[in-house]
Amino acid sequence: MEKDETINNNQYLHDSDDKLEELNPQDSVKAYRNVKFLNSRDARTIRILAEYLEPESRLRHYGIKDTIVFYGSARIPSLQEAQQRLYDMTEKLDHLDIKSRGMMEARLQIAERDLKLARYYEDARKLAYQLTKWALDLDEKQRFIVCSGGGPGIMEAANRGAAEAGGKTIGFNISLPMEQGANPYITKNLSFDFHYFFMRKLWFVYTAKALVVFPGGFGTFDELFELLTLRQTKKVKKPLCVIIYGKEYWESVMDFNKMVDWGVINKEDLNLFHFLDDVEDAYITLRDHFEKEFVGKKQYWHW
């Protein structure tokens, strides 16, 4: 579809007319089965609408009332993977010549950094597990389903923890130039594949009752700040709990207090989120929020 978007629309119409002239009336194709048209620029609105209606239909069918969304880097490995990678490199180091040793030491530093980051994979996995276990014990079914961007890293960790707890778990994937494949822990029939980032973002927020934001790059920042903007401007009025997890990372790359000092946000805007650094603290904060605002209530259900 990405390639089809670049086709000149006039050329598309011209080609279609040529082909239609060759068809007998009984061979004509209904518009909704005309794949070439559906992939054209003229049909972009239909594709956007499909990315709203199809997820809505599927989530309603499976009774998904609300979600807990996990954001975070796709590059963060599991603890086992990071430990194995570091061990393999350390073993190789002893058998290399001086020139090759220098190159390996640089890679070794990356492996050591990844081992440090792996803590966040395991924390996301554990938090998703605990939240899912708690939700499964509620009298109301299909509540607070763990949802991620569907890919590797923190996304995989969240889906994995929920699956290990025996619950359903959602993946909102996105097609990228470097293809992002869906991780294997997403529940069957609850893996979605979006073309448009803005439609994917809509679904992240639409059913969410909380967001947990782990260390990440541009994509994580994009998703976090869009959500904070929606809350700040009251475009999203439901009482969302937002946790920014991992103080060491976030305080080293972002200083929200400086934004207050410069006057670009109000001090009260810092109340839109919690900075936390412990799985148990995050679990208790989320559980208490859900029990206060949502458990036993149908408010903010969309179907």
Q: What is the pLDDT averaged over residues 69-86?
A: 95
Confirm whether 48 is domain-assigned.
no
- Same-domain check for residues 167 and 220: yes
Q: How far apart are CA 265 and CA 120, in angstroms?
A: 28
- Same-domain check for residues 149 and 234: yes
Confirm whether 228 is domain-assigned.
yes
Query: Which residues are bridge partners to 171 per DSSP?
Result: 148, 191
Q: Which of 105-109, 226-230, 258-262 has the lowest mean pLDDT?
A: 105-109
- Same-domain check for residues 240 and 157: yes
Query: Which residues are bridge partners to 174 per DSSP?
Result: 194
pTM assigned to the model: 0.88
> What's residue 224's pLDDT?
97
Confirm whether 138 is domain-assigned.
yes
Mind listing the pLDDT tens digit for each residue in 52-66?
999 999 999 999 999
> What's residue 10's pLDDT?
43
- Same-domain check for residues 71 and 104: no
Q: List b or e across 12-39, with b for residues whose CB sees 16 or more CB atoms inside 10 angstroms.
A: beeeeeeeeeeeeeeeeeeeeeeeebbb
CATH number where 139 lies: 3.40.50.450
Residue 94 belongs to domain spanning: 81-111
- Same-domain check for residues 175 and 245: yes
- Same-domain check for residues 91 and 167: no
> What's residue 229's pLDDT?
97
If one counts the domains in the chain, the total is 2
> What's residue 23's pLDDT?
62
> What's residue 3's pLDDT?
46
Is residue 97 scored above 90 in pLDDT?
no
- Same-domain check for residues 231 and 88: no
- Same-domain check for residues 231 and 87: no
- Same-domain check for residues 102 and 189: no
Q: How far apart are CA 128 and CA 159, in angstroms?
A: 7
- Same-domain check for residues 136 and 239: yes
- Same-domain check for residues 94 and 203: no
Confirm whether 47 is domain-assigned.
no
Confirm whether 267 is domain-assigned.
yes
- Same-domain check for residues 193 and 206: yes
